[in-house]
Amino acid sequence: MHAKRVGIYVNRQRYKCRECKETFFENLPDMDVNRSVTNRLLDWIQETSLEKAFTSVAEEIGVDEKTVRNIFNDYVAELQARTDFRTPKGLGIDEVHLLKNYRCVITDVENKSVIDILRKRNKDMVISYLYKLQDIDKIELVANSMA
């Protein structure tokens, strides 16, 4: 609360289904169903993990780095599921130097947006990526400025 670490003790009812013998807990609307954290903390971890290293986020709130990483991975998967990707008319292929490595950047030239950043910029990686594109026949123009 207010960027300070807070512990909350929660008492909740545990139930057992008479038919299937499954055990489950009372639903708490402000708690994440998969983890023992509040939805507010979950949202904070998701947003902060985009800007800071997982270890520093974990130290700041007092959880394991793996927990932060798993929350982030779930968040990225959720964002990807909500993203409606359409193959652009104009596809840009360029390179950028990130984290001591050159990487291939795939862009939508018309909308001036980044579509993807590949781990490497070699020919095989680019060709493999292009073969996996859906509706590749919609591409009318390719701008390539890789060295």
Q: Which pLDDT tens digit goes with each residue over 36-78? A: 889 999 999 999 999 999 999 999 988 899 999 999 999 999 9
Low-confidence ranges of the chain (pLDDT < 50): none
- Does this model's pTM top 0.75? My answer is no
Give yes or no: residues 108 and 134 share one domain. yes
Give yes or no: residues 75 and 96 share one domain. no
What is the residue range of 99's domain? 90-144
CA–CA separation, 113 and 32 (whole Å): 33
In a domain, 15, yes or no: no
User: CA-CA-CA-CA torsion for 71, 73, 77, 83, nearest 10 degrees?
Assistant: 100
pLDDT value, residue 105: 93
Give yes or no: residues 76 and 112 share one domain. no
In a domain, 20, yes or no: no
